[in-house]
Chain A
Amino acid sequence: DVKVTQSSRYLVKRTGEKVFLECVQDMDHENMFWYRQDPGLGLRLIYFSYDVKMKEKGDIPEGYSVSREKKERFSLILESASTNQTSMYLCATQTVTDTQYFGPGTRLTVL
């Protein structure tokens, strides 16, 4: 079974803090994605990566950066958290047939 794990299920941070969200997969998939999910807006793509040290902007990259130093790990970084970044963050990996496997999500609250 594919396993995608995210470092925290729930996180509370203060405005201006630097926030790291980590995602680890155990299936050697090359493609990894970060989404945020908000009610009524569905999943919106923040960043994705096709390989180690490669990254591409998604639809809403502003205020975020990513790091992929190892194939199995894809990190999302909020350089200076703001209240409008309160959301559910979902990491996914992708097979060659384009099926995406999601982690359980991190519910981030920025106060």
Chain B
Amino acid sequence: TQLLEQSPQFLSIQEGENLTVYCNSSSVFSSLQWYRQEPGEGPVLLVTVVTGGEVKKLKRLTFQFGDARKDSSLHITAAQPGDTGLYLCAGEGETSGSRLTFGEGTQLTVNP
């Protein structure tokens, strides 16, 4: 079974601060996705990274896929209260077909 470990599990910061969330595994993934989930809603896809070393930017969010495709990070610059939510990483294994393995999630709270 492939596992994805996210850290930290909880993060509470002030508006304007920067933060990084990590997603690590001992397994190789063919792609990795990041989702954000708001209370009472299902997760919504933010980005998919597929190439080792790939960096994608979405406004103040920067996503990176590790060179070996075993880990990923999400960096938020100048966090805002609207960034508050549960961030989930999900990996597609090289032999798992279309199944995704989800990390436990990082609950981010940005205080005004």
Q: Which residues of A contact B (CB under 8 A)?
A: 4, 9, 31, 35, 40-45, 48, 50, 58-59, 90, 92, 94, 97-105
Contact check, B40 vs A104: say whether CB atoms are below 8 A apart.
yes
Cross-chain contact A94 with B98 (CB below 8 angstroms)? yes
Check B99 against A48 for contact (C-beta < 8 Å).
yes
Known contacts being A4-B42, A43-B88, is A99 close to B33, with CB within 8 Å? Answer: yes
B9 contacts across to A, CB distance below 8 A: 40
Additional A-B contacts beyond A42-B104, A105-B41 (11; CB < 8 A): A40-B104, A42-B88, A43-B90, A45-B100, A48-B99, A58-B99, A90-B43, A92-B42, A100-B43, A100-B90, A102-B42
| A81 CB, nearest partner CB in chain B, Å | 22
Other-chain residue from A58, A99, A105 in contact with B40 (beta carbon distance below 8 A): A105
From B30, which residue of chain A is reached at the shortest CB distance?
A98
**Given contact pairs A42-B105, A43-B88, A97-B48, A104 touches B99 in the complex (Cβ within 8 A):** no
CA distance A31 to B99 in the complex (A): 10
Would you give the 0/1 interface string for B6-26, flagging 1 where the beta carbon is closer than 8 Å to chain A? 100100000000000000000
Determine how close the nearest CB of chain B comes to the CB of A62; give it in whole angstroms: 16
Are A98 and B102 CB-contacts (below 8 A) given A90-B42, A104-B40?
A: no
Contact assessment for A102 and B31 in the assembled complex, using a CB-CB cutoff below 8 Å: no
Within 8 A of A (CB), among B58-92: 88, 90, 92
In the complex, how many angstroms separate the beta carbon of B23 from the nearest chain A beta carbon?
11
